[in-house]
Structures are given as structure tokens and as C-alpha cells.
Amino acid sequence: MPAALKGEGRRGALPPSLFPLPVSAIVIDLDGTLLHTAPELAESANRMLRDMGRPAVSQELLMSYIGNGIHWLVKRALTGDMYAEPDATLFDRALPVFEQHYTALLLDSKPFPNVIAGLDAMKAAGYRLGCITNKVERYTTPLLRGIGLAHYFDIVLAGDTLPEKKPHPLPLLHSAKFFGVPVERLLLIGDSLSDTQAARAAGCPVFCVPYGYNHGEPVEGLDLDAVIPDLPAALKLIRHI
């Protein structure tokens, strides 16, 4: 089975006969899809814990905490639990410490393999591109500019741009309206459950890459349309319309 279709047969994955999908615009997740930000996020969390007199946590565990925004990463680092709420005073002390460290490390992140080639190929094929992330704008804009990716995107929606963020469908519905295309012709490429939930709620197709930050779980088990090894592989499964 081709790598690009190895999600076929899982929950919502489409059979090969339905490809290529008609797509007018593409929106792409940031952390875990475009950029390998986990090392910097994990290091920032551990520096925060150290500064607060707490023991360090393994990078692997911290990587499993990534995906719902920095507030949840800090909460999970403090509690060691995916959904527990730390003491409010403790969280209020910890968050600015994390933010200080992450600001210093922000531009150490790197694109995943073939990301630049994939973005170039998508633009050459006539697709308009957007970036949708749960990372707040104060980090998103400097990161995309500093890494040299900002010019690829006609729209960038950070975690605090709209009243709702992924897994809510609003960022996808807003993007479709921005591009002037039916939402079912807007493709989301992501790496996690929040991406697939947002896409299903919005009614648009979703591909996932297997190398990202899906809380330590394989993306093949998600409700998606295809698993692609990298961004260029998406072009084999879509047609511009």
C-alpha cells in the first residue's frame, strides 16, 4: 500500500478510488506539521520547572503534552496529567516563566523534511495557502517570519485570532470564507486529533503527517482521509479546482 494512503481502511480514511480530491485551497498546521518545535517547547517547560524548584520531565513526555496551546502545555508540565488543573496561583507564576524561556528559544525550531519543497510545489500548482495553529499570535508571527515561511501564506490564524481555535471548526470555516471557496474544497493538513476533529466538524477533508505531536498516539487511528509521509505527497491525492 502506498505510504500516502496507509490511513485507508481506518475509521474515516477514504478508499483510493475517491482520489484525487477536488481542492481549491490548503491550510496547514504549524507545530508538528510544518515545524519541529517540540525540542524548544520541551526545553522551555523544563527550564520553567527548574526555575520553580521542580524536577525536570522527559522530552518524550513533554512532547505528548503538545497540541492544545501553550497554556495546556504549562498545565500538563505542572501536574503530570493531560487534563488536570494546577493551582491557579501556581499556574499564574509558571506561565510567564515559560514564556520568557520560549521567547529566547523560539527561532531555534526547524522545518520538517520536505516542508519547503511541499510549499513550493503547492504554490506552483496554483493552490492558495493558509496556516492554522493553536499557538498564540505573539509566537506565531515571529516564528513564521524568522524561519522564512510567512510569505507562503495568504492567511495565518493563530490560537487567539478568533474566538475559537481547533478542534472547533471556526478557523476552517473562516478560512474557507476568506478564500471564497466551499469548505468541502478546503484541505487541512495536520498532525493531531484536534486537526481531524476540526475538519470533521467543518466538513472539509483532512490529511495527517505521521511525524508530529498527536499526544504520543499514531495518527493512523484518527478519523481522517489519508496519512501522507510529507507535504509533497499531498499533491498526489488532490486536484486543483
Q: Mind telling me the catalytic residues?
A: 29
> What grid cell was written down for 141?
508571527
Helix (H) or strand (E) holding 116: helix 115-124
In three-state secondary structure terms, 231 is helix
Residue at 62: amino acid letter: L
Cell 515571529 identifies what position? 142
> What grid cell was written down for 62?
513533554
DSSP string computed for 30-99 = SBTTTEE-HHHHHHHHHHHHHHTT-----HHHHHHT-SS-HHHHHHHHHHSSSSPPPPHHHHHHHHHHHH
Q: Which residue, among 152, 149, 116, 124, has the nearest Cα to 240 in the 3D structure?
A: 124
* DSSP bridge pairs for 208: 190, 227
* Whole-number Cα distances in Å, 182 to 111, 128, 203: 30, 14, 10
Please count the residues of the chain: 241
